[in-house]
Structure 1
Amino acid sequence: MSWLTTPAHARWLEAEGDRLLAFGRASRHPDGGFAWLDETGAPELDRPVELWITCRMTHVYALGHLMGRPDCGTLADHGVAALRERFHDRVHGGWYAKVGPDGPTTTDKTAYEHAFVVLAGASAAAAGRPGGAELLDDALGVLLEHFWDDEFGMVVEQWDESFTTLDGYRGVNANMHTVEALLAAADVLDDASLRERAQRIVTRVVHDLARGNQWRIPEHFDTTWTPDLEYNVDEPAHPFRPYGATIGHWLEWARLALHLRAGLGASAPEWLLEDARSLFDASVREGWAVDGADGFVYTVDWSGTPVVRERMHWVAAESTATAAALHAATGEAAYADWYTTWWQHVADCFLDTEHGSWRHELSPRNTPSSVTWAGKPDTYHAFQATLIPRLPLAPTLAAALRDGLLP
């Protein structure tokens, strides 16, 4: 029996989401933003505060507020205030990726983090939090003015502080989260033009690059969007730019294609569902339990051979969410079966019932590891995994909660 459609499992998901919200409260940084949490859930206040963590936690607590959880609105406001003040570059616009007691510790402006500012703004705006709508408007303006490359229908990666010098690297990871952010903003603002930009990115990455490369998505490119397949071959376990193809991203792209398809409605091209199926199948074929133990390997090379075999919590979370999304789109029992299998794996291996949240990384034998990730920096992937199975594919999370679509 699949758990996916049972009320009892929905209650379990709700309880797990509440457990994650409780764990993350400790990340509230006294100087603004949200701190990195260690394995026990203690905030590491001596390290710079990361923009991506602050955005993700602002998003999570805006969702928590929309679900009627006490104190979540206050925590979302704390995040919005940091994004409008502590992280914001008042001179040149945009946001710094890391800040410390004396200001920014790095001054480059990066698309990955800016996509999350849009997501945080969209969720805060949907939740009606003070400054949320203004943050969303500002973030979209920066993203579309400085990062959107209309020639290629993608976002560029990294500017200097003044948006004068553009780095030559182009990356798919930032574009993936830009799709997520654009879809969220499109729903919150009722702006179809943002969904059209998301469709351009998905078309290039999924329908062109993935389909043309046996569904192994190239991650790293030069200025003309020519793949650099040997990028970071000497640093294969990089947390954001690993060598090779990243299994978890195939699952995320599949899910985002389904959200886009649902948002487009009758105008959605047929290939969105077909390609989502193919990405899912490839992730199972080349990523799941391919080395003698359950779990998804982190990366594979261009022949499909595992490179980094550690298991990441975010991949496990995305696997359950994508299986749920495909079941919602097709009604096919096989996806519900995978959903059950993977939540059981999460419960067996990733849930930390002693210290809270999920273990962020496991070894190839599913024991705690820290090759790529130390600590438990945020709850974004795990919390979303508790919501996606309980909501429709469109609108996206914050808009769906705002509209009362959570059963």
Structure 2
Amino acid sequence: VILGYLSRKFVQKSRNLGRKTSQLGEDYMAGITDQLNGIKDIKSNKLENSYIEWLRSLTSRMNAEQIEYVKLKSSSQLIYKVSAAILITVFIFISVKVFHAQGEQLLLIILIFSRLWPRFITIQSNFEQIAATLPACQAVTKLIEDCSKEQEFKQADALSLVTKPQIECKDVYFRYKKDSHNYVLKDINLTIPHNQMTAIVGPSGAGKSTLIDLLMGLNSAERGEVLVNGQPLKDELLLSLRQSISYVPQDSFLFNTSVRENLLTVNAQASERELWEALEFAMAAQFVENLSQGLDTVIGDRGMKISGGERQRLVLARAILKKPALLILDEATSALDTNNENKIKESIDRLKGKVTIVVVAHRLSTIQAADQVLVLEEGKVIQKGSFDQLAYEEEGAFHKLLEGQFQTVQ
């Protein structure tokens, strides 16, 4: 009991060292991930030395922390052993001088004590080790709790697809931080008719991608509501809509596996013919045929073994293979050359009347066939109408955007 009381200091120090270990581990993983993701920027800007110094500094701190832990463990073991020797001496002295214990009794007690003492040492050492690893365990437990709190809903049974989605936004307001006075979207009122093509345009920072996130239910409106076929977008309806959506972002994401497996993630039952039809639609069939193993070629982490344009075409092919009722393209052709962009534009135009299409575009020439154009500026819809109608409104924002792009081309 006395040793347990005295060992509290070592247990607390072990816990503090555990916190440092966890924090250093987080810093290491975050820094290495940033360096791997930004390797092109680091090399092109000749920043290698600064990142090497960062790594040396961090590993030096990690090394010092581990040495400190070994020193702590050695010190505690030394103190326990010295304390044990002192306790045994005091015990024998008191037993002989005060209680006049017999020799055989003392020998028996000392034998028992000598057998139990290593167990006490082991228990105490385990306490220190647990204290050192406890902060990491607490961090993981907190992460699990946070994820559970933020869970959207429990997985439901098989849901029916939303085959003809018509989406409405009524008086929608949204901001990322509740304590902020700046709304990213303000007073959004719009309708996206089913089986028509709607284009969303505007300057950078206007709120286009945020609006897309609201339409897909990835964010929830702070005020107002998003309706699908007249019903609020939540719970089972949200799951049904997502099963009916194909989303192609500007930053194309692919898994570290083969082309075939990347495509089959959205439609595991797709046939070989359907795979090639989707690739043909996205103008990706030719480059896939030229890969070393065709459809079975592994394309690396995030598709790094192929070019940006090829990644974008594969993601588009994957979206088409899902056979969606709602196709959302967020700058989906930004990494393509003009020739391939025009071909994909023609392919998308052929989907009109069969699929609800929402396109976010900076290059306005790609949305000439849109049934409806929505112009966003500073989080508000400032213009609605057809491409030709808005193009001829000389005082309108859309006309100015067109004029600016035309002058850039000239």
Name the TM-score class by shorter chain.
under 0.3
Rg larger in 1 or in 2? 2
* Structure having the larger proportion of residues in strand: 2
TM-score of the two chains, using structure 2 as the length reference: 0.25
* Structure having the larger proportion of residues in helix: 2
